[in-house]
Amino acid sequence: MKLVIGNDHAAVEMKNQIMKYLEDKGIEVVNVGTDSTESFDYPIAGYRAAKLVASGEVDGGVLICGTGIGISLAANKVKGIRAAVCSEPYSAKLAKMHNNANMIAFGARVVGVELAKMIVDEWLNAEYLGGKHARRVAMISEIEETGRLEAAEKQ
Ligand code: RB5
């Protein structure tokens, strides 16, 4: 498995810890974030990471900034990306099972590193359920691709 990790200046230490955690599991990790604590604009890391996921060059991505919000918002602007910000493992698991999230995000100023590891594990180990969830994920893609949602306009 190959993942990408992206971060801004608020999350350098956590990025390093999560990278090591993943690499110790035998997962290859591509680092597209900053390694400096100098101010770094999170959309750059979010965009770089999202492009690798969307192109299929990696199997998924981990995004970390102060809150996880800005970097995930940027990543979600890339077509095909479903990045979920999670502060606890239950949502991380469901983000994969129901929403087929291909990126997981969290905040280095919000969660501690041990909780972050649990969040990553739940997301990584969960499987997308498909079925009725596939219809809803397809609706998200319809909005992304057409700027419209036919089912919503009918009602
Ligand atoms: C940087 O100060 C901070 O705004 C950023 O890390 C992130 O929390 C944005 O969403």
Question: What domains can you pick out in the chain, each with its CATH number?
Answer: 2-128 (3.40.1400.10)
User: Rounded mean pLDDT of 39-62?
Assistant: 99
The SS3 of residue 49 is helix
pLDDT at 155: 65
Contact 19 CB / ligand 1 (< 6 Å) = no
The C-alpha atoms of residue 4 and residue 102 are separated, in whole angstroms, by 11
Mean pLDDT of the chain: 98
Report the predicted TM-score, pTM, of the whole model to 2 decimal places. Answer: 0.97
- 69 touches ligand 1 (CB under 6 Å): yes
Establish whether 65 is a catalytic residue: yes
Helix/strand/coil for 79: coil
- The residues, any chain, with a CB within 8 Å of residue 102's CB and separated by 6 or more, are 53, 60, 61, 80, 81, 82, 83
The reported pLDDT for the residue numbered 75 is: 99
Determine which one of 9, 65, 86, 133 is catalytic.
65
Tens of pLDDT, residues 96-143 = 999 999 999 999 999 999 999 999 999 999 999 999 999 999 999 999
Neighbour-count burial of 133, counting CB atoms closer than 10 A to its CB (0-12 exposed, 13-18 middle, 19+ buried): middle
> 50-75 burial by CB neighbour count: b if 16+ within 10 A, else e?
bbbbbeeebebbbbbbbbbbbbbbbb
Average pLDDT rounded to a whole number, residues 13-17: 98
